[in-house]
Each structure stands twice: as structure tokens, then as C-alpha cells.
Amino acid sequence: MSEITLVIDGVECRASKGETILQVARKNDIYIPTLCWMEGLTPIGSCRMCVVEVAGNAKLLTACTTPAENNMQVSTKTEKLTNYRRQILELLFAGRNHFCMFCSQTGDCELQRLAIEHGMDNVRYPFLYETFHNDASDPNIQIDHNRCILCLRCIRVCAEKVGAHTLDLEKRGWGTNITADLGKKLGESDSCVSCGACAQVCPTGTITLRDFVYRGRRHDCDDQVESICPLCSLGCRIKAYVRTGSVVRVEGISGDSPDGGQLCHMGRWWLPKSTERERLSVPMIRSGSSFREASWEEAIALVAEKMKPALKDDKAGALVSELSTDEELTVISSFFRDTLEMKKMDGFYGNMLRGFVRGLKPFADQGVRPFTGAHNILKSDAIVVVEADPQEETPVAASYIRVSTVIERAKLINVSAGKNPFEGITDSDHRTTKKGMLSLLIALRKAVEGAEEDVSPEVKETAAILRNAKKPVVVIGSKLAEEDPRLVTEAVNLAVASKAFFEDGLGVVPMLRASNSLGALNTITGENDWVSDGQLDFLYVLSTGMVSEDKRSLEAMTRARFVVVHTPFMVHPLVNMADVLLPAPAWFERSGHYCTLEGERRRMNLVTAPVGNMKGLSVIMKEIAGKLGVEMQKASAAPCENVYEAKAPSDAARTVDSTLFAKEVR
């Protein structure tokens, strides 16, 4: 990393070889106007706004693409450059429909801002009044081509970060247009994953999201809070926009991060739209087929009254969402497990997590960390997807897989009993049945290790790919863990045999689904699946109300005699099961930590203060404890950060004999 020095607008700047003039300028707080450039995306130098004059070079160079050289003398704001930039802006305004008064993006538009900065009070070129089409075919994302300045940011983010490459250009010259899937309208596209990254990066009012346009104009928002998405295990960084006390828009944070600031449809839509749901704001007690409002005192007293006898008979249980924060999970486990010594505690994803824990345990016992940060998929050169559908389970992980395969040319191998989620871009596709999965995984591993007999040509080919790969990764679907932990062990065996060793752990990415599956492991995940059988007299349910409950949990709730549901929203059928409803803060009213699949613990920040008659979780538990006549014990659960620890480097891992582990029926 050699150091160089250059002068920009008379200011001496230090830089590293390889940095562009724009990067150096930004580091030194020297402003150069840009339009098509965006941090994290490949610079293309097409808008020409960032042109600079370099002494000794007759040509004007774009700062975003030109590498800085030692002793360069750069001028960024000469009269000639300013004149030319102004002409570029005027040409853009004259070319398509940029009448700000009727555009939803006014005030938020980078083209408008640049025009104001450059004093564009008139346009010398005739307005061409050409009509391009307004694509409203997609239910969520609208593309008004009349506003497009062809900065190509949407194309780049969709190709380079989301990996879908849905958008690209059609035609050429003046009639060039963004199009989906080589000539379709966006709503007809097969490859679009509806993540909305295109709208996030669009500098003008071309690509907009119907739900958040106008009302969610960033310019008009009172507050912007950086937080993380509390839904899936990746924990993508988000920015929540607040207007008059309500979350009106959620975006990712564009930049240099591996995910490029993309979100999935859940983070981008479910989070802000949840504010429209009916809130549970006061405790409610069942009265016939509906509920009546109650005070906290009455509600807590009733909860304690029903809990006491059930505890004695070991017929009390707690079902907790793995979307809870570390802090919430610690409180819950310290109350139920440490204080009440209640065995029957579990999470909604309990079976899946038990499958993963048991499957990964032999390797954790070797001292290695049996998984790697999900973004390392981008560094992989061979990815094996085992019974997973990442676009469903952890959408941005699917983006990593697509980008790694299509752009970085990694090999992609699918092993499944169901469909091939990456049909069209896989190099090998192994289909089997549920019963045949174990032997297939064993056969693949043996072939990688060198076995030659009874090896089918497809398995041989895949084994060769994995042997030659320098950084293979195995993605394990949640369905596999639910089915049989031995399958998980064999999938990890395959990774070990292929030498999938990363610095932070084994080259394994488990589809853990919930945002705090890792945090739940030490706290609320039960020893066994008591939920599926048994009749409970008392069941406490803590749900964030953001993800629908699964069949197992709902059936358990139906069977239980007395159900307490602690949740923020009046969502059905969850609240229908309840005898007592306790209001919980919604995602935007909570803060806390999550142990994410990206390999680090991240903090969710409070966006708006809780409304209604809210009580904190630890206060509620303390009051119930008081009514039960017990004192709250300190949490004994190990901090969830332990889950990232490793005593040995990943290449110390050895394969294990999965037959030694009997298949435990849940």
C-alpha cells in the first residue's frame, strides 16, 4: 500500500496508490459534484459532473474513475469546468421531464440539488418534450422513465449487490431506456426479487416506491435513525425515517459494506408498513369471545394466579420469539429458567435450532467455530447450497450467492430434495429424496476425500470442483436441520473435507432464519420439543408480531388452557388464542443487541418512544415474580457473544462419523 501525495485545489492530500481522485478528495473534505457515482458501486464516469483538470493532461478526466498519481496537480472548480457542468445539467433538464413541481421526489432529488448548486436559473436548450413510458406494472416499485437521467445506478446495484441483474439498458443513444429482463416491464420480470434497492439508489424521481413516496419524502422527515433490521439472521443495517412520530420509510445504508446497503422486501416494506397495524396499547383480558381493557395490576395478578398451580404440576410453558433482543432473552430466561426453574421453555424455531446445535456440536466440541460470517460467501469460489432456499430464508444471503456466482465466477452446486432455488446459474444440481439425502451427502464427502468406486459422474464432477476450490462454502437450509441433525453434521463434514476454512470459522453458513437465533441458543431454546405434545395449563407467548406463527406453535396455543400473549400488534390468529393480552413495544420502540449471521453482534436502536400504556419486560417479569412470591435471580445464561468464540483455528476441524449420533426424534 504505497503512499502518494497530490495537490487538489491547492490542498496537499495524502493518498494510497489505487485510490481515485474522488476518493482522495472526499477524504480531505474537498467537494466534487457527482451524479452517477455511488459509494460501493463500480464507478462508470458517465454523467461527467466530476470532471477535473489535471496539469499536463489536455483531456478532462472524471475524478470518480481516474486513479490518483503521485504529484498530480488537480483543479476541480475552474470556470471552464463549472460552465461545462452547468451545460450538462441543462442538457439533462431539456431532455426529459424534469418539472419538479409535479414530481414526488422534489426536495429529495440529487439532480435538483445540483442544478440549484450550479445556479441553473434557466435552460438555454429547447425542451424536447419527448414522452417515455411510465411503468406502473409492479405493485410496489414504479419506474417513470420520463425522469430518468441514465445514471445507471439502479442497474449497477441490482447486478453488483443484489446479483439479480434484472435491470439493464435497451436501445441506444437518445432513446436509451432502463428495462427489466431484456425487454419486459418490471411487473412482468421473473428475476426481480422486489428488494427495492433500485429505488434506494435512484437519484431522481424515476424509481419510486408507491408506499413511501410523498409521505416518506426524506427531506420532510423529522428524524433519521440508524438501526438494524430485526427480522432475519443477517441483521442488515437500516435507516428509519420518522415523520410526525411515525416511521414512514426504511432504507438500507448505501456504502462500502459487502451488502452495498441493500435490504430485502421484508426490511424495506414489512418494517415501515407494520406501523399501519392495529396496536395493542393496554392490557386486555378475555371476556367471552372478545376482550376488555384492564389495568396492569389486574392483568399481572391474573397471570400469576394462573401460573402458580401450573408451575407446581409442571404444566406451565413459555414460547418466545427468536426475534427478541439479547437483553429481552436474558430477562426471559433469568425469569423462567433461573427464577422459576421452569423446564418447558422454547422458541418458535426451536426444532430447527436444536437440529443445528446437535448437528454442529461435534465440530464446536473440536474448539472450532462451526460457521463463518455470511458475507464471506462473496469471497468463496465454490458454494454448495444444501436443501436451502436462501431467497426465502435469508434473502440478502441469496444476493451474496448470486453475486459470487455470476460476477465473481464462483461455482454453484445445489443439493436438494426440493427444487433448485438457483435454477439457471448452478454448475451442478444434485436432486434426491428426503430419505436419500444422508447417503448423498456422505457420497459427496467421500468423493471429495478421494473415493473412486461407485461414484456417479455428477458426484465426481462436484467433488473435483470442491477439491480445486480455495474457499468453498456450504449453505445449510433450515429444513435440513429440522429434518435430522445428522444431515447437518454431514453437510459440515463436506465443508471440512473440502477444506472450507475461513479466518473467522468453518466455511458453513446455516440459514438460521430469525434475527437472534444465535442469542436464543443459550437462553430460551429448550432441550427437547415439549411443544408438540403435551397439554399445558399455562402458556406464555412472547411474539414481535412481525412474522406469522408456525403451525406447531399455534397448535400448542390451542391446546393450552390459559394463554398469555405478549405482543405489540393485534395480529390474528395469535391474539385469538389469548386469555390475557399484554402490550409490548413494537420493533421501532425497542433497542437491544442481536447476534447476527454476519459474525458480529449488532445494536438495534430506538426509533420512536413507546406509546400507550407500556411497561418494560424486566418490570413485568419482576412484578409477576413478586406476585408469585419469588425473587428474581440473576441470569445464568452465558452471554451470546460466546457463540462467536473459537478455541482452535478453523483448519483444525476434522470430519466426524455422523452415524455415532443417533437420530433423535425431535
Interacting residue ranges for other proteins, rule: CB under 8 A: 43-48, 51, 59-60, 62, 65-67, 84, 87-88, 91-92, 94-95, 124-126, 128, 149-150, 152, 168-169, 171-176
C-beta of 152 vs 514, nearer to other proteins? 152
At its nearest, how many Å lie between other proteins and the CB of residue 64?
8
At its nearest, how many Å lie between other proteins and the CB of residue 131?
16
C-beta of 32 vs 541, nearer to other proteins? 32
Distance between CA atoms of residues 228 and 257, nearest Å? 14
Among 178, 174, 136, 173, smallest CA distance to 154 is for 178
Distance between CA atoms of residues 54 and 74, nearest Å? 5
At its nearest, how many Å lie between other proteins and the CB of residue 39?
17
C-beta of 46 vs 73, nearer to other proteins? 46
C-beta of 80 vs 419, nearer to other proteins? 80
At its nearest, how many Å lie between other proteins and the CB of residue 38?
16
| CB 293, CB 282: distance < 8 Å | yes
C-beta of 59 vs 551, nearer to other proteins? 59
At its nearest, how many Å lie between other proteins and the CB of residue 77?
16
C-beta of 44 vs 442, nearer to other proteins? 44
Grid cell in block for residue 159: 447486478
How many Cα neighbours within 13 Å face the side chain of 202?
A: 26
Distance between CA atoms of residues 271 and 263, nearest Å? 11
C-beta of 128 vs 638, nearer to other proteins? 128
| CB 300, CB 617: distance < 8 Å | no
Distances (CA, A) of 149 to 61, 81, 172, 173, 334: 20, 20, 14, 12, 57
C-beta of 79 vs 276, nearer to other proteins? 79
Give the full edge-to-edge strand order of the sheet including 411-416: 428-431, 411-416, 382-386, 472-476, 508-510
Distance between CA atoms of residues 642 and 652, nearest Å? 19
Q: To 5 degrees, how large is the angle CA 554–CA 525–CA 259?
A: 90
C-beta of 62 vs 428, nearer to other proteins? 62
| CB 91, CB 120: distance < 8 Å | no
C-beta of 94 vs 451, nearer to other proteins? 94
At its nearest, how many Å lie between other proteins and the CB of residue 59?
8
Quick one: three-class SS letters along 626-646?
HHHCCCCCCCCCCCHHHHHCC
C-beta of 89 vs 560, nearer to other proteins? 89
Distances (CA, A) of 524 to 310, 328, 330, 619: 19, 10, 8, 19
At its nearest, how many Å lie between other proteins and the CB of residue 469?
20
At its nearest, how many Å lie between other proteins and the CB of residue 607?
39
C-beta of 143 vs 323, nearer to other proteins? 143
At its nearest, how many Å lie between other proteins and the CB of residue 40?
18
Distance between CA atoms of residues 334 and 317, nearest Å? 14
| CB 381, CB 471: distance < 8 Å | yes
C-beta of 88 vs 263, nearer to other proteins? 88
C-beta of 57 vs 456, nearer to other proteins? 57
Distances (CA, A) of 499 to 356, 447, 509: 20, 14, 15
At its nearest, how many Å lie between other proteins and the CB of residue 149?
8
Distance between CA atoms of residues 248 and 218, nearest Å? 9
Q: Which residues contact 155 (CB under 8 A, 6 or more apart)?
A: 167, 168, 169, 178
Grid cell in block for residue 94: 431539456
At its nearest, how many Å lie between other proteins and the CB of residue 43?
8
At its nearest, how many Å lie between other proteins and the CB of residue 158?
14
Distance between CA atoms of residues 599 and 504, nearest Å? 8
At its nearest, how many Å lie between other proteins and the CB of residue 87?
5
Omega before 573 within 30 of 0, i.e. cis: yes
CA 606 to the chain's CA centroid: 18
Among 117, 93, 104, 100, smallest CA distance to 218 is for 104
Distance between CA atoms of residues 562 and 560, nearest Å? 6
C-beta of 48 vs 279, nearer to other proteins? 48
At its nearest, how many Å lie between other proteins and the CB of residue 666?
50
DSSP 281-314: -S-EEEETTEEEE--HHHHHHHHHHHHHHHHHTT
C-beta of 140 vs 177, nearer to other proteins? 177
At its nearest, how many Å lie between other proteins and the CB of residue 365?
44
| CB 514, CB 322: distance < 8 Å | yes
At its nearest, how many Å lie between other proteins and the CB of residue 400?
22
Quick one: three-class SS letters along 547-590?
CCCCHHHHHHHHHCCEEEEEECECCCCCHHHCCEEEECCCHHHC
